[in-house]
């Protein structure tokens, strides 16, 4: 009977498809295209086609801005404590330990001294991976020390911001860093040393309301979210529709709150040009210094000439006074 006949097809067991390793590809938020992460890293985390700027980690940022092998980290051994014994779903201490492992940094900012096109600068770079780049007492202290380092050594100061604001786990100790960093920048301004502030995505709340907005020149990367309170909070508070592009770098530039928007690949060149404008270009003297022997020879020749003039009854200095 047909009902018991052998099927005319055979079942083939499909081979399991090799899974794509996690982190190999990522999606561009602007264009929606899939981007190979290795190519993205080679391009400073900027999508070649759309120009979208992904966050750049602090060590890579330092490498992109400074001359090779010139950066010397400062205050690397300063770590955050838990002054309020903050508890929640996870304690603040646990969060700190987890973020130190994740970011490979002591806290949310990397500070030090290095050279940008031969000019020594004091540099501080924030990293959003560490608790959203939030500013606690250690971040505020390290940024203040970076400013004071520039003041002591007569160096320009560059701060690259990437932060969600003050760190809630430290309460008022976090908020007071706004005043501390601003006071340090006031001293730098009185010393007439330049400060360049670079805003990246995002730069918000207490960081934007303090040192990030106090630069002699304020530069932003394209498309960066910059502001104080979040868009949703403002809309719920004011009950008003917010304009398109609100709190983006382009929106703020049109209204005079930024000086320039500079793509990531051009930042090093642009900042270097600005420092040349503020501090003057660094020129290497081509003249060779006179040796000690040459200096002694010149002095002896001058002395011999004076003695000879005296023997001949001539005194140049006396004759000048007589003529006058």
**pLDDT by residue (tens digit) across 201-237?**
999 999 999 999 999 999 999 999 998 887 788 887 8
Q: 101-121: per-residue pLDDT in tens?
A: 999 899 999 999 999 999 999
From residue 220, how far is each of 78, 136, 212, 275 by CA, in Å?
Answer: 28, 23, 10, 17
CB proximity list for 41: less than 8 A, separation 6 or greater: 60
Angle at the Cα of 59 (from 181 to 187), degrees rounded to 5? 20
Nearest alpha-carbon partner for 41 in 20, 64, 21? 64
Q: Which domains does the chain have, with CATH numbers?
A: 55-279 (3.90.226.10)
Beta bridge partners of 27: 34
Q: In the prediction, which pLDDT does 312 show?
A: 52
Q: Tens of pLDDT along 61-90? A: 999 999 999 999 999 888 888 888 888 888
Summarised one tens digit per residue, pLDDT across range 140-196 is: 999 999 999 999 999 999 999 999 999 989 999 999 999 999 999 999 999 999 999
CA-CA distances (angstroms) from residue 233 to 119, 199, 206, 208? Answer: 43, 22, 15, 16
Total residue count of the chain as it appears in this document? 324
Q: 284 or 195, which is more confident?
A: 195
- Gap between the Cα atoms of 187 and 7, Å rounded: 88
Question: DSSP string covering 80-133, please?
Answer: ---TT---SSS-HHHHHHHHHHHHSSSSSEEEEEEEETTEEEEEEEE-TTTGGG
Q: Is residue 305 pLDDT above 70, yes or no?
A: no
Straight-line distance from the first to the last Cα atom of the chain, in angstroms, rounded to the nearest whole number:
142
Contact 138, 96 (CB under 8 A): no
Cβ–Cβ contacts within 10 Å for residue 3, how many?
4
> Can you give the pLDDT at residue 323?
41
Quote the percentage of the chain above a pLDDT of 90.
52
Mean pLDDT of the chain: 84
Q: Judge whether residue 318 has pLDDT over 60.
A: no
d(CA 7, CA 193): 86
Burial 198-207 (b: 16+ CB within 10 A, else e): bbbbbbbbbb
Residue 201 CA, chain-centre distance (Å), reads: 12
pLDDT the model gives residue 154: 94
**DSSP states of 259-314 as a string?**
SEE--GGGHHHHHHHHHHHHH-------SPPPPHHHHHHHHHHHHHHHHHHHHTT-
3-state helix, strand, coil split of the chain in percent (to 5) is 40, 15, 40
**Which is higher by pLDDT, 247 or 96?**
96
Q: Read off the pTM.
A: 0.77
Lateral strand order in the sheet of 195-203: 72-73, 109-116, 119-126, 157-163, 195-203, 217-220, 260-261
- Write down the residue that tokens 């004091």 correspond to: 122
Residue with tokens 């950066």: 71
Name the DSSP letter for residue 6. P
Structure tokens of 44? 């400073």
> How confident is the model at residue 51, as a pLDDT?
87
């Amino acid at each position: 009977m047909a009902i018991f006949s052998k099927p005319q097809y055979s079942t083939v067991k499909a081979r399991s498809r090799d899974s794509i390793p996690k982190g190999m590809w990522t999606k561009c938020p602007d264009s929606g295209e899939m981007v190979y992460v290795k190519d993205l890293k080679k391009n400073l985390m900027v999508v070649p086609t759309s120009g979208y700027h992904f966050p750049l980690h602090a060590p890579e940022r330092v490498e992109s801005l400074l001359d090779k092998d010139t950066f010397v980290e400062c205050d690397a051994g300063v770590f955050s404590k838990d002054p309020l014994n903050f508890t929640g779903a996870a304690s603040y201490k646990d969060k700190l330990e987890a973020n130190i492992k994740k970011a490979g940094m002591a806290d949310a900012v990397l500070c030090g001294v290095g050279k940008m096109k031969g000019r020594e600068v004091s540099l501080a770079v924030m990293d959003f991976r560490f608790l959203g780049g939030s500013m606690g007492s250690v971040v505020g202290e390290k940024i203040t020390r970076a400013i004071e380092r520039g003041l002591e050594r007569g160096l320009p100061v560059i701060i690259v911001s990437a932060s969600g604001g003050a760190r809630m786990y430290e309460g008022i100790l976090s908020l007071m860093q706004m005043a501390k960093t601003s006071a340090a920048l006031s001293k730098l301004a009185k010393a007439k040393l330049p400060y360049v502030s670079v805003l990246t995505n995002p730069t918000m709340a207490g960081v934007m309301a303090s040192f990030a907005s106090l630069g002699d020149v304020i530069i932003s990367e394209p498309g960066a979210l910059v502001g104080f309170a979040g868009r949703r909070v403002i809309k719920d508070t004011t009950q008003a529709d917010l304009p398109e592009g609100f709190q983006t770098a382009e929106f703020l530039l049109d209204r005079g709150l930024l000086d320039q928007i500079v793509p990531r690949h051009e930042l090093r060149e642009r900042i270097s040009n600005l420092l040349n404008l503020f501090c003057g270009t660094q020129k290497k003297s081509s003249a060779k210094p006179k040796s000690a022997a040459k200096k002694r020879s010149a002095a002896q020749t001058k002395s011999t000439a004076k003695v000879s003039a005296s023997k001949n009854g001539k005194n140049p200095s006396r004759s000048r006074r007589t003529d006058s």
